[in-house]
A and B are shown apart, each in its own frame.
Chain A
């Protein structure tokens, strides 16, 4: 039987439909699981936490959701080695749950995606994520190429990685820095970073490699028709661009 992927839906989640659609278009077997159906989650083989404002982000984004009963199942599954991908708000929730970078205890985060800097407002900007670890560091990125650039949209007010110097060192030394922001030619500098994120961080991976958190949304540049620079008459409905991360995720489940 094919692995089943759950896309948990919190009350303020707003990116579940496109996340689900792209998972399916990439060959995955996925379904939405509503917050009132939290009990069903344990039966799933993998999880993708999508973007939104799970519990309104009145305190630090993801902090409340990390304590939601849906996260009990996700945390347990992650510790059992199941694959978990968090995107944007989903990434914030994984950090707040302490699953990432994996140097602390559960629900005692050592790093957070917090208020953008220097300007502390929402930013919607097309970006590229560059792999900062070997692809095989995580099953979720295993099918990417070494030099892979994942096109995506940053769309958040809180995406700046923040941690103490000691914890930032652990992130680097422990190989947790999965993705950094990059220019389209693959070069990396402060201008490529939309939110002031420490280390230019766009994504983190846990020690075991089964939990990945990315701030930008690859699913919003996930089909050919999303690309501003597409050629005319391409098959516009085909997964493309940011979908490579989803394809890699689905492939990892087939092994």
Chain B
């Protein structure tokens, strides 16, 4: 292996004053990989706003935390993490995607939180040929997400899916996870002050050779010819064990609280034991001594470097004061009988935190690694050249459009049609807290705190059609679209998380796309006053031929609802309501589904933040005044899709309500909202344009053309049934 560059190897040898051992080489390879160290991205990510009054914990640990609300005098936080599992999912779709869920669940768990929901953003290839490799990957990923998430009992709340040729050779599998934590009970990921002499305890599955070289593998360009060889770098997930680990960890949190003991807890992610213990102790200003012979292993006689950096799944690490070690071991090994659940799974003390800032590994009575902690874990930085991305406006063509022919084609489009064939494979309602299951509305909603009406909304966005044209614009739209989706269910947006999926930072034009996207995210977040509290970067998403995926800044927005009794439920509610168009009505068609269907180019709609803030406020105000009956954010497919969604919601609820609506040229996808508001004629929502009314019949009359709602529903609900039977 060793993806370290020559200059990096020389730097290591120079600092050590000798050649590195095999273990040291593997450790630096992992620690200095793009995947672990963010070496080419970290300095740009600092441009993102992270602090608002809602921020409880910004980026820097395994997950960020936002203030959710107060119940019974207790402040609650929502833990937010976002991760990619692109490369593994491309190689072994089922296990790769399942591992993505497993990893992010641990990131949330280790903050001391209960894991309460996941969402996923999926970018698949075209999948037109159901026998193709792309289709195989698209099915395997969905089955993997379902198999893992369903088994651990975490509801799948939200997500989106695109099918696009830009992902034929590199799928994107991004996962968001949410946790619930009392703010006074947050557990941190680094050794606290006074931790010298504390024990380092490894918990979970027996270490095996799976995932050896995983971190640096993820930093490589994927070549289909090597894919077979890389399978060993993908870890094997075990949701059954994870279910027990989660519950045992909840018990450990309770035991810590009872005894008033501080501790640190962290997921073993990239870089395995070295990566995790190095960061936990290094960031606290400490060193570590670890005895690799104490590690519970699944295979005898593994080389020490494999034990040290292998990325076996379902493992976590504690740093605890010595008097708590026995309690901790008893909880995992006896109360929750880990060794009976999976072969040689257990909790075991493997080392100690040292005041001396050296990271030392012992194996078979020998020292196999001895380096300065700071040198191992201190962030290294790559300042690479990049090309500025400039968007060239093509001439705008605006044909007259016949709604009659277009409506059904829009609804059958793969990026618009029903996602139900995929979604029904995911458990959206386990734990009984679901208010809006995924797919029912623009965002998923939970009532996460037992006995409290406090609600939590989650939505994701990131349109690859925009990414291909202008990465910076796409990033701004990802923020806006995610925020709008949360607003449309009646929630107040409180924070963001991102996953940045791009090509190689070593190619100036691809690196430039990344930089432009970060600036786009920063602009939109600042304009809307929202923090990014966590995120993830996935680079090197390119094909063997060097073609990068469409620039994909994927954004998730978290929102709160003071009382879920006022959540906006799906579908038209009553005939005779006014239908309002709130938001930009600019007729710019670049990047739209409609432009694609009609083979047009066209300029991108301009984003005006004053108008965006006003639109969000108008919807919020209508909701607060109790006149908002239903609402959809306008996205792919524009107003046609939005009005169809509201009609389908009524249909599924058994309400025979349609609409008569006239909005001129249907090509606008500038964003905004379609709102159903009560009131007979006198619409008291200022700043909105009335474009129609709901009617007492299951029909949509759009710009004068009449459609049956159930006929449209048939067209919309079928297209993915062949791919996901």
Contact = CB atoms under 8 A, between A and B. Distances in A.
A21 B432 contact: yes
B120 to A, nearest CB: 15
A195 B256 CA distance: 44
A226 interface: yes
Contacts of A11: 240, 243-244, 337, 341
B569 A223 contact: no
A12 B340 CA distance: 13
A36 interface: yes
Interface stretch (B349-357, B421-429, B460-468, B705-713): B421-429
Contact of B426 (A13, A124, A232): A124
Interface in B353-389: none
A11 to B, nearest CB: 5
A224 B566 CA distance: 12
Interface stretch (A91-99, A115-123, A196-204): A115-123
B427 A155 contact: yes
A155 B150 contact: yes
Contact of A232 (B146, B150, B566): B566
A12 B151 contact: yes
Contacts of B341: 11
Interface stretch (B74-82, B301-309, B433-441, B476-484): B433-441
Interface residues of A, number: 44
Contacts of A21: 432, 450
Interface in B516-573: 563-566, 569-570
B653 interface: yes
Interface in B18-35: none
B430 interface: yes
Contact of B430 (A220, A221, A230): A220
Contacts of A123: 424-425
B447 interface: yes
B425 A14 contact: no
Given A12-B243, A14-B243, A226-B434, A184 B654 contact: yes
B425 A121 contact: yes
A53 B654 contact: no
A17 B250 CA distance: 13
Contact of B432 (A34, A226, A235): A226
Contact of A124 (B243, B429, B565, B570): B429
A158 interface: no
A66 to B, nearest CB: 17
Given A11-B243, A225-B435, A153 B453 contact: no
Interface in B298-336: 334-336
Contacts of B432: 15, 17-18, 21-22, 219-220, 222-223, 226
A232 B565 contact: yes
B431 interface: yes
Contacts of A209: none
Contacts of A222: 432
A230 B335 CA distance: 41
A234 interface: yes
A121 B144 CA distance: 12
Contact of A229 (B240, B337, B427, B569): B569
Nearest to B151: A53
A13 B335 CA distance: 16
Interface in B633-655: 653-654
Nearest to B428: A124
Contacts of B425: 121-124
Contact of A36 (B243, B335, B428, B436): B335
Given A14-B153, A155-B150, A223-B432, A236 B563 contact: yes
Contacts of A51: 430
B17 interface: no
A233 to B, nearest CB: 5
A52 interface: yes
B427 A122 contact: yes
Given A22-B432, A233-B565, A36 B337 contact: yes
B385 to A, nearest CB: 48
B570 A228 contact: yes
A228 B653 contact: yes
10 contacts: A12-B151, A14-B151, A36-B335, A36-B337, A53-B243, A55-B240, A125-B424, A226-B429, A230-B565, A233-B566
Interface of B: 143, 146-147, 150-153, 239-240, 243-244, 334-337, 341, 423-437, 440, 447, 450-453, 563-566, 569-570, 626, 653-654, 725
Given A15-B153, A55-B240, 19 more contacts: A15-B432, A17-B431, A17-B432, A18-B431, A21-B432, A52-B153, A53-B151, A53-B240, A122-B146, A122-B427, A124-B424, A155-B150, A155-B429, A155-B430, A221-B429, A225-B564, A228-B440, A236-B564, A237-B453
